Amino acid sequence: MFVRVSDVKKWAGREETAEIHEPWPEATQERLDFPLKGPAIVFVTVRNTGGGNLLVEVSGTAQVEAICARCMEPFPLEVPFSATEQFREEVGENDPLLDYSRYVGDKIFLDEMVADAVGVSMPIRAVCHEECQGLCPRCGTNLNWGHCDCQPEPDSRWAALARWSPPSEPES
Give the pLDDT of residue 17: 94
Give the pLDDT of residue 128: 95
pLDDT tens-place string over residues 63-107? 999 999 999 999 999 999 999 999 888 766 655 556 677 787 888
78 within 8 A of 61, measured Cβ to Cβ: yes
User: b/e string for 138-150 if b means 16 or more Cβ within 10 A?
Assistant: eeeebebeeeeee
Low-confidence ranges of the chain (pLDDT < 70): 91-99, 172
Please name the residue ranges forming H helices in 67-158. Answer: 111-121
Identify any residues that bridge with 89 across adjacent strands, giving them in sequence order.
103
Give the pLDDT of residue 1: 87
Give the pLDDT of residue 95: 55
46 three-state secondary structure? strand
4 three-state secondary structure? strand
Give the pLDDT of residue 97: 53
Give the pLDDT of residue 133: 94
Provide the whole-model pTM.
0.74
Q: Percentage of the chain with pLDDT > 70?
A: 94
101 within 8 A of 84, measured Cβ to Cβ: no
Q: Where are the beta strands (DSSP E) in 7-165?
A: 15-23, 36-37, 39-50, 53-67, 74-89, 101-103, 107-109
User: b/e string for 92-113 if b means 16 or more Cβ within 10 A?
Assistant: eeeeeeeebbebeeeebebbbb
| Maximum C-alpha span of the chain | 103
Q: Percentage of the chain with pLDDT > 90?
A: 46
Give the pLDDT of residue 91: 64
| Amino acid at the residue 54 | L
The ranges assigned to domains in the chain are: 2-121
